[in-house]
Structure 1
């Protein structure tokens, strides 16, 4: 849940700085290659910062309230767009310490050049999945070098001294003017690098690597950067990565970066299917379909709704597995639901949690897809709608049991999956450390079970 007031206020000022020169051609790269990944609002924010800096000489600060009016966006949406720019390396945000009101520096970076982008181990596969194979090929052709051969041409260009004569030394009166001194000139900066909050475990990787195949210095900075990106994109653990690294360095003693990308990609396709590529998408409930954003949570039901809204299906699967890594079949099922039914992640969270309870912890593919298709036809968009429908479905399933007994049976779920409790769970912004995660998980599971039983 993005709550902008915790990070930035409308009255906080900001200043835009460039990490280097930007060129007109960069607009084409941003629009065609980055916009499919980050969306129109993040792209618009980048161009807004660019024009603000480009239209003024020197440094000029403005308030975020002015930025909200200029872009006609809420501060929450601007903050979300800003974080997307930071994630893909187009922006760095710096905040001055102990400043009231707050003061930010937004440093914009140039995008990767086309050849760098299409060879990037992280951005290129995500673009492929986002636009599809046909448009990916069209974009790569759009930026390809189409210059024709010049083998049959003769160079007739003159040299400098064919046109100009040197100036006699006596005519230069102020020789010291030729010395630039300490001046620094604007230049094209390096593109922003991608960073990860959870770094790849290179220590574990080295334990799996054979020194007979690969020397210790083969993992240079460029190779390590590729490994980190590939591990994130394809969800590759150190053991599987070690096999790819050794294959990519066989007989040479150095890691062939192109071969490494191919090895990891081929292994992923072997596991997921020949035409599958990893997806890049917002894995939590969209802001416009959230009910608890910015609200003070008053009840257990509201806390549960907020949890579903701010957690991803991946996190839910991880917790249902007591903290273990979700299995590929379950991940493929989740991805297929998102792309085929277009259900929101929060709704999918309710769906998965509901089916786990009524189907004895079994995520049967046909059963899940049947209910998901039904919810999609009903146009279920919010978590509260999904919970209401799940409760009604649960009541229908238990009607035969209730007719044979004086009182409906109550089944209390005994699952106690590992859960890291978000700060908002207690309403006061502090995590309650007195109860163990398993106890909190059982408490949440029992509340949902009671809710489905209309208790």
Structure 2
């Protein structure tokens, strides 16, 4: 992941262009449907860019990013993160150009989906439902719908153009300059309402070849997999984390009697599969990695702890588990435990990483769900949002957490030999005590399990040093 200062600087200029005229109804859609998913800062950034374009125009003057920083009273890192959310959800396209070491941007505002497109998207509507809950979601949907007027007993009596108007004749029209005068000038175009485009999920993350291997050509002909069907499968696999093996059964369940694949059935069967796997819960839209607004030390990577913080802030919890397993896929139970604390306790990804790091080292590289949830609940009540504050709280509450861990082990370890000296994360150990802890004897079994984590830490400390050297 590139650091934001490589992507944009305060002195960089930008111009806002609108991809079509926005109506008042569009602003309602953004405020009520998009804002719960992207947050108030991204929504305000969209509106601010919109108001930089004069009323009735589609192109703004040139500004610098200093202006945005002053207008928002935010640093550029937070504005950049808000911009990425707008890009990801389809409300903004960004273009850049560099001339003679001067970098400039074009921010092209995209119209939002219509209310009907949003509520039938198959992905955004699910995220919104989970975010708002059933009662609020249904009330919101009602505000965008109305009773359909019954016109079956009415007959249309509208007159056509030629019924009402008459022409002055072909000769008059042929000599008119109106045709030429109506053509826009060079490099100009008329204002128009652009068609909005649904969110597109890159299908590269899904293994269609493996899906086809598991489906007989006779039973499910390849011609059934139209671009619309493949797009729906890619979206559903992303939304519900469905692999090709499980998707095969969902596709088979979605075949209609006339041998077609129903998109509505695909959505229903994928949702049912997910809810069976996740105790009836629906997926939520969350940040993959620690939000920029809750990061620290991105420009200071001097100490070992700084580099570890940078790693935990820029890696997803799933990737952390993969790194700890030497590239192997984490178990479903481990992923479920991590997902539960992120969704139920509302812990940011970076804070979740600290928790996983701490618990894994204290429980012999095993992710104890009960222990994980108990500490996560404590951090949630403390409203921990940053990696550094999570580390500090773990240090200050270590004795309490140790008691929780010991009480859990008492019943299972009564007949076992005395437990070995526990290993603590490097960030937990104070500088003056590190030599003492390094000298503690560990068994070969524990050392072997910890070697993976230490190798990962060294790898990212090196990467962190490389990043720091570029500044």
User: TM-score scaled by structure 1?
Assistant: 0.82
* Cα-to-partner distance string for 1:161-212 (whole Å, 9 max, x where unaligned): 4543333345447345236568754433232443549532222222222211
Query: Whole-Å Cα distance in 1 between the matches of residues 293 and 253 of structure 2?
Result: 46
Partner residue, 2:208: 202
* Cα-to-partner distance string for 1:341-369 (whole Å, 9 max, x where unaligned): 33333232222222212222332322222
Which secondary structure state, in structure 2, belongs to the residue aligned with residue 294 of structure 1? Answer: coil
Is the Cα contact below 8 Å between 1:3 and 1:76 reproduced in 2? no
Which secondary structure state, in structure 2, belongs to the residue aligned with residue 39 of structure 1? Answer: helix
Partner residue, 2:113: 112
Aligned mate of 2:466, from 428, 445, 453 = 428
Partner residue, 2:424: none
Query: Whole-Å Cα distance in 2 between the matches of residues 351 and 59 of structure 1?
Result: 46
* Cα-to-partner distance string for 1:83-131 (whole Å, 9 max, x where unaligned): 1011011111111145521011111211111221112122121111111
Partner residue, 1:77: 78
1:379 Cα shift?
4.7
How do 1:324-335 and structure 2 match up within 5 A? 324-335=328-339
Aligned mate of 1:306, from 310, 329, 335 = 310
The answer on 1:356 being equivalent to 2:360 is yes
Is the Cα contact below 8 Å between 1:121 and 1:261 reproduced in 2? yes
When structure 1 is superposed on structure 2, of 142-151 and 156-165 the one drifting more is 156-165
The answer on 1:253 being equivalent to 2:259 is yes
Query: Whole-Å Cα distance in 2 between the matches of residues 155 and 369 of structure 1?
Result: 65
Is the Cα contact below 8 Å between 1:87 and 1:195 reproduced in 2? no
Query: Whole-Å Cα distance in 1 between the matches of residues 131 and 173 of structure 2?
Result: 61
How do 1:42-121 and structure 2 match up within 5 A? 42-55=42-55, 56=57, 60-121=61-122
Partner residue, 1:20: 20
How do 1:205-224 and structure 2 match up within 5 A? 205-224=211-230
1:320 Cα shift?
2.8
Is the Cα contact below 8 Å between 2:255 and 2:261 reproduced in 1? yes
Partner residue, 1:240: 246
CA RMSD of aligned residues (A): 3.3
Is the Cα contact below 8 Å between 2:92 and 2:109 reproduced in 1? yes
Query: Whole-Å Cα distance in 1 between the matches of residues 145 and 183 of structure 2?
Result: 41
Which secondary structure state, in structure 2, belongs to the residue aligned with residue 427 of structure 1? Answer: helix
Partner residue, 2:413: none
Aligned residues: 427
Partner residue, 1:346: 350
Gaps of 5+ in 2: 407-417, 422-435
Query: Whole-Å Cα distance in 1 between the matches of residues 31 and 276 of structure 2?
Result: 33
Query: Whole-Å Cα distance in 2 between the matches of residues 428 and 43 of structure 1?
Result: 35
User: TM-score scaled by structure 2?
Assistant: 0.80
Cα distance, 1:2–1:279 mapped onto 2, change above 3 Å: farther
1:332 Cα shift?
3.1
Which secondary structure state, in structure 1, belongs to the residue aligned with residue 102 of structure 2? Answer: coil
Partner residue, 1:367: 371
Which secondary structure state, in structure 1, belongs to the residue aligned with residue 347 of structure 2? Answer: coil
Which secondary structure state, in structure 2, belongs to the residue aligned with residue 15 of structure 1? Answer: strand
* Cα-to-partner distance string for 1:270-292 (whole Å, 9 max, x where unaligned): 11122x11111124334444331
Query: Whole-Å Cα distance in 2 between the matches of residues 46 and 382 of structure 1?
Result: 26
